[in-house]
Structure 1
C-alpha cells in the first residue's frame, strides 16, 4: 500500500528541514512552512540557490510551534532565539559571518541571488540569457495572501520510486533531504501534471515537475558536497515543464484541493 514516508517543514526559508510526524496542510501549504526569511544588507532575501552567500543557512535549525505560531531558530554555533527577535538575528548573523535580519514581512521588491551551475543542462530554457557559473539577482515569488516565501507551488513532493532510480543512476544513495520536499511519498514513481492524489485527509493536484538548482549538490545536514549529482540529474532528468520549457527536474509541485491533517504512514491514493 502506498504511504506517506516523511513530512518536512521549513519554517525559515533555506534553513534545515524540521522532520515531523504530522502536520496540518491548508490552502497555502503546511502550517508554518516557509513563513520566515532572512534579509541581507542589500535587501535581497536568503536562498541557498546562491551557496556562497547562503549555503551555511542549510545547517541552521528552525522549529515551528503550532500552538503559539512562533519559530525557534538555533544555529550550529549554539546561539538561538525566537524568530523576530534580536537574539535570533544575532545567532544567524554570527553563523553566517555578516549581519542579516529575519522577517516574515516581504520586502517591497522581493529579490534573491541565484548562482547558475556550470554543469551543462542545469540552466532551464526560460533562463536562456543566464551565464553558467554566474550570479544573477532574480525576482522571487511571495504568497502575500498567507505570507509564504515559496519558489513556486505551496507543496513540494518527492517519491521513493524516483529516489531509488536516481540513486541507481548516480551509483550511490541520494538522501531526499537534498531536494527539500514537504512530503516524501512511498510511490513507485512521480505522478504526471494534472493527476490527483489523496494524501491522508488532503487532496492535491500535480502542477509541474520541480526544476532543480545547485542546492541538491551542496553539503548540508550530513550530506557532503556532491557536484557529480548535478551531472546525473542533467543526464537523466531533463524534461518538459508544461507552459515553461525544458529543464532538469526532480520531484513535483502540487496544488492543494482540500485541507486536512497528514500523518506519516497515511495512505496515498492516486486518481
Structure 2
C-alpha cells in the first residue's frame, strides 16, 4: 500500500502581529520565515511592551482588525505599507497621517505602529485557569502581575528562537489538518477552526492523529527548494480561545488540548501542544498544493 501524499493545504501571513492576516496561494520563505509575516507590531508607548493577543484584556481588539500588504514584500527590504481594516469597517494605511492615533483609540491604549524591533522587546501572556496548560514552575518564574480575574500574567522576551523579530518564539508555525481532525473527534462540541491557531503552513494528508509529534528534529522539504527544520512542538495559549472576526470565544478548544495532548518539551516541562515550530534551512517559493516530504 502506498503512503498517502502530504501537501500544502493553505498558507497564511500576518503582516501585523495579532491582527487577522492574509490567506495566500503562494509565499516566499526566506531566512526570517514567510516574507512579510509579523513585519509590523504595535508598541505600547506607556509600558514598552509589544501588543499581543495573549493578553486579551489589553489587546483583544486587535483580533477584530485585519492587515494586508499594499504591495508584495521582499526579503531583506523595508516592508511596504499595510492596509488596516478596523472593526467598524474603516480603513487606514500604515503610512497615513494619524494612523497611530486611530490605532490607540481602537485598542484603548497609547500605541505606535512599528516595523523596527526595539531591541529588548517583551510581550505579556495571560494564563487561563486550565489544568495541564503549562508547567506551574514556568508560570511562577515568569509572573509579572495578576489579572482582575486572578489569572497570572507573565512578561516574556520576544523571539527567543528568532532574535530581532516580532515572533513570540520561532520563525515558522506549522499545523496539520490531521491534528485539527483529531481534536474535533475528541471534542465534537468545540470549535477547532484553523484560524484560531495562526499557522503559516497547514499541511494535509499523511497519517491520522497528532502527526507533527513525529516531525520534531526532522527536515521537511516543501516544493522544489524550501527546507524547514522542525525544532519543537507548539505550546498553545489563550489566543486560541478568543473571539476573532466571525469566530466566537470558545475556551473548550484549549481545554481539549490540555486534557488530551500534553507533551514533554525537553528542558521546558510538559505543555498542552498542537502543531510545531520550525526554522529555515533553505528558502524558496511555496505554493498551495506543493508536495511535502519528511
Distance 1:141 1:126, change over 3 A: farther
Structure 1 residue 62, shift from structure 2 partner: 0.9
Residue of structure 2 in register with 1:261 after alignment: 285
Q: Judge conservation of contact 1:23–1:261 (CA < 8 Å) in 2.
A: yes
Partner of 1:162: 179
Query: Does 2:165 correspond to 1:135?
Result: no
- Mark the runs of 5 or more structure 2 residues left unpaired by the alignment: 74-78
Cα distance change of structure 1 residues 177 and 4 upon mapping to structure 2, 3 Å threshold: same
CA distance in 1, matches of 2:284, 2:24: 15
Return the offset for 1:27.
Answer: 1.1
The CA deviation at 1:128 is 4.4
What is the aligned-residue RMSD (CA, Å)?
Answer: 2.0
Deviation at 1:148, TM superposition (A): 2.3
Q: Are the aligned partners of 1:237 and 1:248 in contact in 2 as well (CA < 8 Å)?
A: yes
The aligned residue for residue 234 of structure 2 is 210
Please show how residues 1-271 of structure 1 align to structure 2 within 5 Å: 1-40=5-44, 41-64=46-69, 65-66=71-72, 69-124=80-135, 127-129=138-140, 130=143, 133-141=151-159, 143=162, 147-172=164-189, 173-187=191-205, 188=207, 189-190=211-212, 191-200=214-223, 201-270=225-294
Task: Give how far 1:112 is off.
Answer: 1.8
Greater than 4 Å deviation, 4+ residue runs:
none
Gaps of 5+ in 1: none
Q: What's 2:76 paired with?
A: none
User: Match of 1:256, SS?
Assistant: strand
Q: 1:244 to 1:84 in 2, by over 3 A?
A: farther
Deviation of 1:160 (Å): 0.7
CA contact (8 A) 1:80 1:88 kept: no
Please, what TM-score do these two structures have when normalized by structure 1? 0.91
